[in-house]
Structure 1
Amino acid sequence: MCSVRGVERKKALWGFIFTVPAIVFFAIFNLYPIFYAVWMSFHRKDLLSLKPPRFVGLANYVYLFTSESFWNSLKATFIFAAGTFVPMVVLSLVFAALIVSRKRLQRFLQMVYYSPAVLSSVVAASIWLLMFDPRGLANQFLNFLLNTKGVDYRWLANENMLRLATIIVYFWKYVGYFTIIFVAGMASVPRSVHEAATIDGATKWQDFWYITLPLIKPTTLLVCVMTTIQCLRTFSTQYLFVQGGAPLKPIDVIALSIYNTAIRDHRIDRASAMSVLLLLIIMSLSYLQMKISKSEEVSY
């Protein structure tokens, strides 16, 4: 008995030893920046100044809550998140259901849907910048669809079209990623459950609505939380669009505003305060989604 306990302790010790590098890496590159940002948000510090930070209490937060640009960033972020979240979750679920329902080409379709996610955000935004050019495919497609000729829909100039353009880019890049997650969730449902439903006379729609959808609720929650986080921390698409000549105000999301505040304006203190507020928003929305879904448990 003692020898068994000794072996278990050695296994636990070696398990902990092997996890130490990952814990140290996580602490240095994740935990430390978070705590440093919280600490810096209560101080006054210019990025290029050699003077030590000066404690100012809640002055940075007071400034943000009275700043028109910060509220515009919140507005831009939530418009983007609201316009991306629902189509992303719903259509990735639909695409996953279509893939699972097919008997052939499942692997090929998964590869096709997932391929945009392999591209970096910079490459994806650069591709779509060419398509949103006045002579690009986006205008040609709308002209064909609406039976107009030579109309410039000003994808990168009009505020609403610009917001829609960033949503399209983000949706195109990540919908395949979340589709694969849903495919994995649907594959985890036992086939015997579907067979029992078929024997009882359930149609394919009833099987999906009353069997598949309730049983993949943990997967749906995962996709919802991940989509929320991705949408709220979006940066590269908006940054490259602005660098390409698009107006800043409609797509000045919080992450882009943090970057400009720290790098352009050299106010690392205010940028840190904005980062803390963004972290609190993400944590609050994630907790709310988990709280809502916790009331129901999945059982086969």
Structure 2
Amino acid sequence: MKKYRGIEKKQARWGFFFVVPSLLFFSLFSFYPIINAFYTSLFDKRALSKAPPDFLGLGNYIRLFDPSRAASELSFLNSLRATLVFTVGTFIPLLILSLLLAVFISNLSSRKAKKFLQIAYYTPAILSSVVAATIWMIIFDPRGLGNQWVNTLMNTPGVDHRWLVDPVMEQVSTMVIYFWKYIGYFIILFITGLASIPSTIYEAATIDGATKNQVFWRITLPLLKPTVVLVSVMAMLQCLKTFSTQYMLYTNGAPRAPINVITFNIYVTGIQQQYLGRASAMSVVLFLLMLVLTLLQFKTTNSEQVEY
């Protein structure tokens, strides 16, 4: 017994030595930026100023949530509203449609059709956000395919729907771009989760006379719960930290209110206006928002390990 305990201690010691470098790198590039952002948010720090920054305490945070500044398009409250609207408008369709499309593709009998659809849906995910936004900016041009498709469906020939000008349509445009780019990625995750469900369960349900709807609601969805939780958390975080799409769609000058999400406001405040203290305070609030929403999702879904 002593010999085995000695071997276990030696293995644990070597395992610790191998893990330490990764922990150091993770701490350096993850924990330190978070701590430094919180520290910087307590000061009135300017990017190019050589003067020592003034200590404000929670002054930057109070400024962010000041109701008197809510009327400004660059206010943090407006950015918070724009971020939540974009997240809800993109997250829900992403989660529902990616699940339905994954089930549809998994139930196809043709292997070639499955592979083709998986590649077709996943291809936009490998594109950069800048390339995806550029493609859709061409589509949303007044003479582009966007107006042609909508006018054909609505029988309104010649109408310009002002995809990149109207405040509401501009917000819809960012949602469409984001949805098109990331739905394939989440479809692949759901297909992987569906493949892990044993086929014998479906065979037993078919023998018992279960319909397709019953199989989906009583078998597929409950057994797919861990994957649903994973996809929902990843999709929500991806929507909350959106930046490139909104950046590509805004014109010269200040960003417009509908697309001035929190990350965009951080960029404008910290890089263009050089108020690093205020930008750090926004970053801390965004981090806490993402942390709270993630914990709420885990708590409400109660994603325990599924046993087949």
Question: For the structure 1 residues 118 and 281, does the alpha-carbon distance in structure 2 shift closer, same or farther, using more than 3 Å as the test?
Answer: same
1:165 to 161, 170, 173: 173
Partners of 1:34 and 1:180 lie apart in 2 by 32
Q: Report if the CA contact (8 A) 1:156-1:245 is conserved.
A: no
- What residue in structure 1 maps to residue 222 of structure 2? 214
Pairwise CA distance, 1:243: 4.0
CA distance in 1, matches of 2:254, 2:273: 20
The answer for the alignment partner of 2:94 in structure 1 is: 88
Q: What is the CA-CA distance between 1:23 and the residue it aligns to?
A: 1.6
Q: State the distance in 2 between where 1:240 and 1:246 align.
A: 13
Q: Distance in 1 between the 2:251 and 2:104 partners?
A: 38
Letter in 1 for 2:63: Y
Match of 1:21 in 2: 21
Contact 2:225 2:303 in 1 (8 A): no
For 1:97 and 1:245, how far apart are their aligned partners in 2?
A: 45
CA distance in 1, matches of 2:181, 2:265: 22
Quote the Cα distance in structure 2 between the aligned partners of 1:45 and 1:79.
Answer: 31
Q: Which moved more, 1:235-244 or 1:130-139?
A: 235-244
Secondary structure at the aligned position of 1:149 is classed as: coil
Pair 1:123–1:153, CA change in 2 (3 A): same
Q: Does the 8 Å contact 1:46/1:269 carry over to 2? A: yes
- Alpha-carbon spacing, 1:196–1:166, altered in 2? closer, same or farther (3 Å): same
> What's the offset of the Cα at 1:161?
0.5
Seen in structure 2, the aligned counterparts of structure 1 residues 295 and 271 have a Cα distance that, compared at 3 Å, is same
The answer to whether the Cα contact below 8 Å between 2:229 and 2:303 also exists between their aligned partners in 1 is no
Aligned to 2:80: 74
User: Which amino acid is the alignment partner of residue 213 of structure 1?
Assistant: L
**Residue number among 182, 207, 211 corresponding to 1:174 in the alignment:** 182
Gaps of 5+ in 2: none
Q: Who is 1:99 aligned against?
A: 105
Q: Map 1:120-131 to 2 at 5 A.
A: 120-131=128-139
Percent of residue pairs identical: 54
Q: Structure 1 counterpart of 2:270, which letter?
A: A
C-alpha distance 245-192 of structure 1, shift in aligned 2 (>3 A): farther
Partner secondary structure for residue 135 of structure 1: coil
Choose the corresponding residue for 2:122, options 114, 117, 121: 114
Residue of structure 1 in register with 2:44 after alignment: 44
Q: Secondary structure at the match of 1:156?
A: coil
* Secondary structure in structure 2 of the residue aligned to 1:175: helix
Note closer, same or farther for the CA distance 1:256–1:46 as it changes in structure 2 (3 Å cut).
Answer: same
Distance 1:245 1:121, change over 3 A: farther
TM-score normalised by length of structure 1:
0.95
Name the CA shift for 1:89/1:245 in 2 (closer, same or farther; >3 Å).
farther
Q: Secondary structure at the match of 2:250?
A: helix
Q: Deviations over 1:56-86 (max 9, x none)?
A: 1110011101132111101110110110011
Closer/same/farther in 2, CA of residues 247 and 269 from structure 1, 3 Å limit:
closer
TM-score by length of 2: 0.93
Superposition deviation, residue 152 in structure 1: 1.0
Greater Cα shift, 153-162 or 45-54: 45-54
